[in-house]
Chains A and B, each alone.
Chain A
């Protein structure tokens, strides 16, 4: 191959990656090298960067839940709220103070024992928008979308139950027959 061909191929490989061709021994050695380099870096990691990564993780997981809702009888709003609060605060009561609600109310919402009022969701949106302002774009409707997606899932998963009782009250069997 002449220089021109070699350079063309190298230029092409800026758009092509093949990381596959390693022996088991080489794979192990690469794994160890990466682990070692990461350990050294993690020691110097700033608290702020750790929090940003945790917040992005929550945001991406929320986006995914809305794209592919898992209706498995488990509400996700309390789960995401818990992760959000714990990423930012050492004590949950401090978040409650920051959004002007009773710590017990927050605790009940996180534990799924109480539904959030609209005012709670509004304050959560305002809080999140401020937190994400310098991190990533944040859809202000994300929290309410998660909350109502949970409701949709709850409704769908109980459809067998309510159909049995409620169909007794409905008379439309003659239509379009």
Chain B
């Protein structure tokens, strides 16, 4: 998977790996919006450019085995990479695609991911990530999930 430096247009290979104890010092509410200490009982992953230490984004999710589904609980891109002046593009897409890969790895043809966005942003997620509506949630499974992974998981 790659993120793109908006200023230079350069693509950088990324890695998405579990957050470790020492990371909690740098994943502050100021940079990553939420209190990530509250998520310590769930799987938390960080996205970094390979070979670099700066965390570009974080995601925690819950694996719901009985439903063959991964529910994205929290996702945050670092303060410098949000909005119009962001440095790197594709961070959210890479994180969502990663959760899709994990779901396929665990559940194969039954794989599904879901999240609950702000009501006013549902359309944004539907358009940008082809997510489908169900109640307050958006989800992805089947062909659309594979397509999203293909879109972001190339090298």
CB nearest neighbor in A for B107: A57
* Number of A-B pairs, beta carbon distance below 8 Å: 129
The answer to whether A37 and B139 have CB atoms under 8 Å apart is: yes
Q: How far is the CA of A15 from the CA of B150 in the complex (A)?
A: 21
Contacts of A54 in B (CB 8 A): 108-109
The stretch of B3-11, B19-27, B47-55, B70-78 in contact with A is B70-78
Given A33-B135, A49-B142, A60-B104, decide whether A10 and B120 contact each other with a Cβ distance below 8 A: yes
A170 within 8 A of B: no
Selected contact of A19 from candidates B67, B71, B104, B121, CB within 8 Å: B71
A-contact 0/1 string along B65-93, CB 8 Å cutoff: 00101011111110001111010000110
Given A18-B74, A19-B72, A137-B154, decide whether A56 and B146 contact each other with a Cβ distance below 8 A: yes
The answer to whether B134 and A37 have CB atoms under 8 Å apart is: yes
A136 within 8 A of B: yes
The answer to whether A22 and B116 have CB atoms under 8 Å apart is: yes
B111 within 8 A of A: yes
The answer to whether B72 and A136 have CB atoms under 8 Å apart is: no
Q: How far is the CA of A57 from the CA of B107 in the complex (A)?
A: 8
Contacts of B112 in A (CB 8 A): 34, 38
What's the nearest-Cβ distance from chain A to residue B32, in Å?
A: 9
B-contact 0/1 string along A62-77, CB 8 Å cutoff: 0010000000000000
Contacts of B118 in A (CB 8 A): 10, 13
The answer to whether A15 and B91 have CB atoms under 8 Å apart is: yes
Q: How large is the interface on B (under 10, 10 to 19, 20 to 34, 35 or more residues)?
A: 35 or more
Give the total of A residues in contact with B, Cβ under 8 Å: 40
Interface residues of A in 1-49 (CB under 8 A from B): 8, 10-20, 22, 26, 29-38, 41-42, 45-46, 49
The answer to whether A30 and B137 have CB atoms under 8 Å apart is: yes
Q: How far is the CA of A53 from the CA of B113 in the complex (A)?
A: 14
A52 within 8 A of B: yes
6 pairs, CB–CB < 8 Å, chain A vs chain B: A10-B121, A15-B57, A17-B117, A22-B136, A33-B137, A56-B101
Chain B positions within 8 Å of A, measured between CB atoms, are 33-34, 57, 67, 69, 71-77, 81-84, 86, 91-92, 101, 104-105, 107-109, 111-112, 114-118, 120-121, 124, 132-137, 139, 141-143, 146, 149-150, 153-155
